[in-house]
Structure 1
Amino acid sequence: MTNPIRFQPVPRSAIYVHVADQIRDAILNRSLPSGERLPPERELAQQFGVSRATIREALRHLQAQGLLAPHGRTSPMQAASPDAAVDRFREALTHVVQLQNVPLPDLIELRVAIETAAMTRAAAAPVEAHLAEARAALEEMERPQISPVEFHEADVAFHVALVAASGNQALALVMLAVRDSIRLHLDEALRGRSFATIRPRVVEEHRGLLRAIERGNAKSAATLLRAHLSEFYGT
């Protein structure tokens, strides 16, 4: 052969990865339910046939992914709640958005896509408990003595609640994951602008969104949403 193919040696996977894979599978298939404690490190080391140092590395790996949580300073790890994994996903996405310098128009387009799909479902068959959360967030935004920081939090909570009102868990999870990126841009959008001036308009636009969904008018809600986001962020 004149040009023989040359292959590179295949690196051996770290042993802790295989340990972590088995524990991860047990968590994801519910064999190890949320809140259930793992056996002590010594017992795990015996079951896997590895050192306790390898077990500790695997547990740290899974904790960083939000799949395990400490039960106490000396107690074994336990399977984390689903919210912990969502938090890790949310944090990771926020970091990626910042590191990649994702432009604001792209984030607005993502928000419009998520919220329009959610509002279509919510207008047809809303989850009343989440509509109640949206109403509560709007009432908070209307509170006379609310601070700008509290207003920002209520604004984000309002939009998250409307998406959750769709009953679509996938849309709700994605909205939760992007909410910190939303908050970052909300802070930027409000910087240098008079809070007292923009607040009444923002509150009124939110009232319109909620009213459209309560009346089952998905088309109106989508139109109001796009206008609200485009005008507010200047895109």
Structure 2
Amino acid sequence: MKLQAVSNRKLYIQIADQIRDQILAGAVESGRQLPSERDLAVSLGVSRPTVREALIALEVAGFVEVRVGVGAFVRDQSRGSAALPDEGNSPIEIMQVRRLLEPEAAALAAQNISPDGMARLAETIRRMQAETIGNVWSSDSDRVMHVTIAEGSGNSVLREMLDQLWNSRSEEVDTKFHEHLAAISEVREHILEDHGKIVGAILAGNAAAAREAMATHLDFVTAAMLKAWD
């Protein structure tokens, strides 16, 4: 019997493998731009978001440089590159699960958060506003806000699930994905506005408004992640 090994590697890593092999074979010279996301998606028979995740995995490993709004360019391989980040979760799949859980966490926090949690949220928003004025984006402040809301929900199971999702956010591909988003000033400003609405609703004890504000925020971030970059 001739059997083919079954791969359980994530699809975006399998795509990254193919593009990496083409780069190493010299199909695209150093400094040259790869085909567009659209063309790669058509050639590979996958979605553009999957191609985008693959390109960011290649960027993390040092094979390409992703320029938002332009495309991906092959880097000089003479110094070698790192292995592809094979253990990371799909950033888009992480967002899909956050969209299921975090709106309800915000609604529960509006009903259950402690005075200390409220003070921490208010201080975090002030810090985010100062960072935005300084044209800086802090993933630490972002995490503090969302984790504080999860803790404020009063549901330990929900908090643990969201902790796990935010630990996934620290994986290399996800981190780089959000760095690209944060580099877009309009996205940063929109996110800060969303955060203000979420925290305002929680501090006011308005569960319905907190749920809606969080859902709207995560829908925006997901749309920004899926928006064409080239």
TM-score under structure 2 normalisation? 0.51
**2:202 alignment counterpart:** 213
**2:211 alignment counterpart:** 222
- Aligned partner of 1:200 among 185, 189, 200: 189
Number of equivalenced pairs: 136
**1:161 alignment counterpart:** 148
How much does 1:183 deviate? Answer: 4.1
Q: How does 1:84-233 map to 2 (within 5 A)?
A: 99=87, 102-143=89-130, 144-145=133-134, 147-148=136-137, 151-184=138-171, 185=174, 187-191=176-180, 194-233=183-222
Q: Which amino acid aligns with 1:156?
A: R
Deviations 1:70-95 (A, max 9, x none): xxxxxxxxxxxxxxxxxxxxxxxxxx
Cα pair 2:128 2:192 within 8 Å, conserved: yes
Cα pair 1:137 1:158 within 8 Å, conserved: yes
Counterpart Cα distance in 2 of 1:173 and 1:198: 28
How much does 1:186 deviate? Answer: 5.2
Counterpart Cα distance in 1 of 2:186 and 2:197: 18
Counterpart Cα distance in 2 of 1:219 and 1:186: 30
Query: Structure 1 unaligned runs (5+)?
Result: 1-96
Deviations 1:134-186 (A, max 9, x none): 222211111133633xx211011111111111122222222222213224435
TM-score under structure 1 normalisation? 0.50
Counterpart Cα distance in 2 of 1:195 and 1:105: 18
Q: How does 1:41-80 map to 2 (within 5 A)?
A: none
Q: Which amino acid aligns with 2:190?
A: R
Query: Structure 2 unaligned runs (5+)?
Result: 1-84
How much does 1:130 deviate? Answer: 1.6
Q: Which amino acid aligns with 1:155?
A: D
Deviations 1:49-108 (A, max 9, x none): xxxxxxxxxxxxxxxxxxxxxxxxxxxxxxxxxxxxxxxxxxxxxxxx963x64344322
SS in 1 for 2:113: coil
Paired-residue identity, %: 19
| CA RMSD of superposed structures (Å) | 2.6
